Structure 1
Amino acid sequence: MQTPPDNGQSRLSAAVARPRATAAPGTSPVEQILYEVKKTIVGQDALLERLMVALLSHGHILVEGVPGLAKTLAVKALAGAIGGQFHRVQFTPDLVPADIVGTRIYHQLSGEFQVSLGPVFTNLLLADEINRAPAKVQSALLEVMQEQQVTIGRETHLVPRPFLVMATQNPIESEGTYPLPEAQVDRFMMKVLVGYPSTTEEFVIVERAIAPDPVSQAIVDPEKLIEMQAQVEQVYVDPSLIEYSVRLASATRYPAEVGQHDLQRYISYGASPRASINLVLAGRALAFIRGRDYVLPQDIADLALDVLRHRLVLSYEALSDDVTADELLTRILMSLPVPDKPLQRIAER
């Protein structure tokens, strides 16, 4: 068998493929969680960071990517690192709401109805190819995402805490799908686009696939994660950044306000107020992940595309001109002045 020439790539990938037994001392719990997940996942840094942002800020994620990009594995590995439960539901056209939330079952021996809880009662739920199920099933899932509870019969059941839904969509197949209505898509905090790995990353992926599975361990438990969520809620957000988030969402509705008059014909409807709320909530979580107790403008800007792209309703003219939401948002971001006060009072503490 011939061996490929060593061009330095194999040495680099081997170093990445064999992580140390433990994370460096003094690292934060978030860094330890991400380190543990990266024992299994190669690359996908943006997806993993957004998953942690959503988990720490009580949000949910819609992920779009072609099959085979480790979307399922990422959520499963994250569930293992936080010591939580993981359930996966493969959405199909014949699915009914009871398959998601649960139902009441009559037992002849006892003569009573008993509640059988559905797979939504977990910490991390993967809704695989959510757009393959009818609107009634999609609504059942999105209701529990918003209310954090399920009503079966006359009884209300709370889902476990923490609770994160990651729904996936396949962008290359449209036959047999039911596109999510804009009002339902708006419930997701972020929409993340997952692309192909680089050549080096794919080399490591194959190398790990033929090696024994790494031994994973729970870094925190759900109770500790709830404490971290409470810490995120204490992260300081300067009023200028709240104003920046509001102006950014408003600019998607009225691009002329930031000097982008020609963009108006491409946007039928801009982002809802949920966009500005989620920009601030996600910005706090990202600042916490980056080791700060205050938010910087860069935190908001880094998340702007993920928080806003699925909230824009593009016009037919945009579709005919092949203009994407990301292109419009990038122009709006460049036109909107960033707050120039670096939060000195907080940074100097």
Structure 2
Amino acid sequence: MSEATTAPSGGATPGGEAQLSDNDVQAIDFLREAHTKLKAELGRVIVGQQSVIDQLAICLFARRHALLMGVPGLAKTLLVSKLAETMSLQFSRIQFTPDLMPMDITGTDILQDNAEGRREFHFVKGPVFANIVLADEINRAPPKTQAAMLEAMQEQRVTVVGKTFHLPSPFMVLATQNPVEQEGTYPLPEAQLDRFMSLIELDYPNEAEEIQIAKTTTGGELPELKHLLTGEQIIEHQALVRRVPVPDHIYTYAAQLVRKTRPQGETAPDWLPPLVSWGAGPRAVQNLILGAKSRAALMGSYMVRLEDVQEVATAVLTHRVITTFAAQAEGIAAKDIIRRLVEESNES
């Protein structure tokens, strides 16, 4: 846990933004404590994955969505459901399959008899009407069904037969992809990938963690977790995150870092064009700043620092950078390119 950065209330930051009020400072202190308790509480059922929990919390309080990538058996579903439990939020899981239809996600109109005995259409809500929605193996469904999630993710509403229905707040979509088995899958198009703030990769546990997993999951039932926050408190802290001040030089750093990912740009390093076909767009800068604000608040800082941007850069930019065949042939992944750009920015 980083030390909280002391910042006086009132006045303005070096970049000209108003600093936090006394109430906001107290709210950030509360959020930092809640974050610490969240990791401890989830640690009762989730072994390891501390950085994944951090990244999920960053996305939640930034009011954004995340894409989870990992092989089967890494407790992705359990992690998301327990996150919802500790946050007192309604959880819904959608198993994406090739025969899944958009109405299976959003809901549909059905004919029912009313009190007068007349038949009329009644809308039955689909599983997307929840606070935290797990779209499990989202690349298993055809593009038409994947697109049904777009309006929900961007507008927090769905439209069915010309009628608009608003989704509950807070609302977050966590989608999973299986990187191993790609037969019969429909890769998410770049436009839809861009809707996710972060790509969160889950790796295998180490030996000690794997032994602890076996001990934890082969005994009795998993414990019920404490409810640390309410939905109303989460909404309030999501608004608080937006008020975290950002100095001008941090905005400049985020924009320059994103622009360096574009091979056609003048600021791209000489080594990048052979490895990258398309770089990140303007939404990447927005998400870098939002992610940095959220991380700063969760770590108890009253102002965004350079390290906040750098810590979220890999998760925010990896799925927005499209590598060339030459990079793939050399085994160079997008995350390797982002990490190199961040390292070079530290040296300059």
TM-score, length-normalised on structure 1?
A: 0.86
Partner of 1:328: 337
CA offset digits 1:297-347 (Å, max 9, x no partner): 0111011110000001112222222221112112211222589xxxxxxxx
Q: Residue deviations 1:183-212, cap 9 Å, x none?
A: 110110000111000111111111111333
Relative to structure 1, the CA distance from residue 74 to residue 198 in structure 2 (aligned partners, 3 Å threshold; closer, same or farther) is same
Match of 2:86 among 81, 87, 97: 81
> Aligned pair in 2 of structure 1 residues 255, 247: CA closer, same or farther (>3 Å)?
farther
CA distance in 2, matches of 1:297, 1:257: 23
Choose the corresponding residue for 2:95, options 90, 93, 97: 90
User: Is the contact made by 2:260 and 2:268 (CA closer than 8 Å) also made in structure 1?
Assistant: no
CA distance in 2, matches of 1:76, 1:261: 45
The alpha carbon displacement at 1:259 in A equals 6.5
Give the equivalent residue in structure 2 for 1:13: none
**How much does 1:257 deviate?**
4.7
> Aligned partners of 1:229 and 1:30: how far apart in 2?
13
Following the alignment from structure 1 to structure 2, what is the Cα–Cα distance between the partners of residues 26 and 164? 19
- Once residues 218 and 137 of structure 2 are traced to their aligned partners in structure 1, the CA distance between those partners, rounded to angstroms, is 28
The unaligned stretches of length 5 or more in structure 2 are 1-29
CA RMSD of aligned residues (A): 1.8
Q: Which residue of 2 aligns with 1:56?
A: 61
Residues 199-214 of structure 1: matches in 2 within 5 Å?
199-212=207-220, 213-214=222-223
- Residue in structure 2 matched with residue 72 of structure 1 by the alignment: 77
Q: Could you tell me how far apart the structure 2 residues matched to 1:259 and 1:29 are?
A: 40
Mapped contact 1:56–1:285 kept (Cα < 8 A): yes
Alignment of 1:62-141 (within 5 A): 62-107=67-112, 109-141=117-149
Q: Percent identity?
A: 41
2:285 is equivalent to residue 279 of structure 1: no
Structure 1: give runs of 5+ residues left out of the alignment: 1-24, 340-349
SS in 2 for 1:233: helix
Partner amino acid, structure 2, of 1:308: L
What corresponds to 1:244 in structure 2? 253
After superposition, give the CA deviation of every residue in 1:48-82 in whole Å (9 maximum; x if it has no partner): 11110011011100011000001001111110001
Q: Give, in whole Å, the separation in 1 of the partners of 2:334 and 2:156.
A: 30
The CA distance in 1 between the partners of 2:193 and 2:109, in whole Å, is 29
Return the alpha-carbon distance in structure 1 between the equivalents of residues 90 and 68 of structure 2. 20
Q: In structure 2, what residue type is equivalent to 1:245?
A: A
Matched-pair contact (CA < 8 Å) for 1:101–1:140? yes
Q: Following superposition, which runs of at least 4 residues in structure 1 exceed 4 angstroms of deviation?
A: 255-259
Match of residue 45 from structure 2 = 40
Number of equivalenced pairs: 315
Distance 1:262 1:82 in 2: 45
Query: Is structure 2 residue 166 aligned with structure 1 residue 161?
Result: no
In the alignment, structure 1 residue 175 sits paired with structure 2 residue 169 = no
Length-normalised TM-score, structure 2:
0.87
* 1:107 CA drift (Å): 2.3
Give secondary structure in 2 for the equivalent of 1:253: coil
Displacement after TM superposition at 1:35 (Å): 2.0
Match among 147, 151, 165 for residue 155 of structure 2: 147
Partner of 2:194: 186
Q: Aligned-pair distance for 1:151?
A: 1.1
Residues 338, 125 of structure 1: alpha-carbon distance in 2 compared, 3 angstrom cutoff: farther
Shift of 1:258: 5.1
Letter in 2 for 1:130: I
Q: Distance in 2 between matches of 1:32 and 1:120?
A: 28
Deviation at 1:110, TM superposition (A): 2.8
After the TM superposition, which of the residue ranges 73-82 and 200-209 deviates more from structure 2? 200-209
Q: Residue 16 of structure 1 corresponds to which residue in structure 2?
A: none
DSSP-derived class of the 1:262 partner: coil
Q: Hey, what does 1:7 align to over in structure 2?
A: none
